[in-house]
Amino acid sequence: MYRESREQIIKIHTKKKPLDQDVKIEELADHTDGYTGADIASLSSAAAMMALREHISKYANAKEADKHSEELRIQMRHFEEAMKKVRPLSTQELNMYKRISEQFGKPQISTRGRDRNEPDIASSAIS
């Protein structure tokens, strides 16, 4: 996936999240070479969860943390930590999935009734 595409996907998955000023989308795009859109979505979610857990741990209880929710910020370090846990599929794994896909092919869509001149449910409901 191209860098520009990764950058756009990161923007989509962080659009409504409270990012700190230190988060550089362009830098994240550079560091996510090999990641799929799903990998980037997981990365963004993991970073958000790390920031949330950290925020909640600062307070005596969840209610107190909620009162200070405006302080919650996802920082670049949260993304860096998330990248240690959310790794892209390796080339070997991608090739394996490609071989499986080619071996089993695309699923067949049922054409019940059409091959044997039998009416399908939709046409018999009209008659």
| 56 pLDDT above the threshold of 90 | yes
Cβ contacts of 40 within 8 Å, gap of 6 or more: 6, 9, 10, 13, 32
| 101 pLDDT above the threshold of 90 | no
Cβ contacts of 43 within 8 Å, gap of 6 or more: 32, 35, 79, 82, 83, 86
| 112 pLDDT above the threshold of 80 | no
Q: What is the pLDDT of residue 93?
A: 77
- Interaxial angle between packed helices 37-57 and 76-85, expressed in degrees from 0 to 180 and rounded to the nearest 10: 120
| 99 pLDDT above the threshold of 90 | no
Q: What is the largest CA-CA distance in the chain?
A: 70
If residue 113 lies in a helix (H) or strand (E), which one and from where to where? none
At 13-33, the pLDDT tens digits run 999 999 999 999 999 999 999
Q: What is the pLDDT of residue 76?
A: 98
* Domain segments of the chain as ranges: 1-88
| 50 pLDDT above the threshold of 90 | yes
CATH 1.10.8.60 fits 1-88, yes or no: yes
| 58 pLDDT above the threshold of 60 | yes
